[in-house]
Homo-oligomer: A and B are copies of this chain.
Amino acid sequence: MDEKRKAAFEVGIKLGALFHQFIGVPVSEKNAKILEKAIESCVKLQPYVINAEVRIDTSKIESEMGYESLRPDMLYAKVEVEVNGEKAVGVLEWDEKMKYPMMKLL
Chain B residues near A101 (CB-CB < 8 A): 69
- The residue in chain B whose Cβ has the minimal distance to the Cβ of A104 is B9
Q: Considering the chains assembled together, what is the distance between the CA atoms of A8 and B101 in angstroms?
A: 19
State the oligomeric state as a number of copies: 4
Count residues on chain A whose CB falls below 8 Å from chain B CBs. Answer: 55
Q: Are B46 and A42 touching (Cβ within 8 A)? A: no
Contact flag A12-B19 (CB < 8 Å), given A27-B42, A34-B37, A69-B72? no
Which of A13, A15, A31 neighbours the largest number of chain B CB atoms within 10 Å of its CB?
Answer: A13
Interface contacts beyond A13-B13, A24-B24, A63-B98: sample of 4 additional A-B pairs, CB < 8 Å, sorted by A: A8-B9, A9-B9, A15-B16, A31-B38
